[in-house]
Amino acid sequence: MRLEVEDAAREELRHAFYWYGGPGSPQAEAFADRFDALTGRLLSMPFVGAPYFAGTRRLMFLTFPYALIYRVVSDDVIVVAIAHTSREPGYWSERS
């Protein structure tokens, strides 16, 4: 499996990381570590997330109010959104 993070999702990840204080902040580092753990899990078990909108799957961060929204296409896991749980569900559905 190969991991791809779409540009919009990468920007959402960056925004959340800085919301939690950025480099050197324990909360920001914990957020980044959680993202790394989730993506590592996806590479070994790509269908672990629950089916979601528009052919995607959702994996919750649990310790943060975010969900990792992704698609499995052939041998690729494509992260389409790092969605805050208070945002409108499916706001990202027009992304590839």
pTM confidence score:
0.91
Mean pLDDT by 10 residues, the chain (96 residues): 96 97 96 96 95 93 96 95 88 74
CATH for 2-84, options being 3.40.50.300, 3.50.50.60, 3.30.2310.20, 1.10.10.10: 3.30.2310.20
Handedness of CA 5, 11, 15, 17 (dihedral sign): positive
Distance CA 96, CA 70 (A): 10
Task: Give me the pLDDT at residue 88, please.
Answer: 82
Asked if residues 95 and 6 have their Cβ atoms less than 8 Å apart, the reply is yes
Q: What angle do CA 25, 28, 34 make, to 5 degrees?
A: 140
Residue type, 61: F
Would you list the domain boundaries of the chain?
A: 2-84
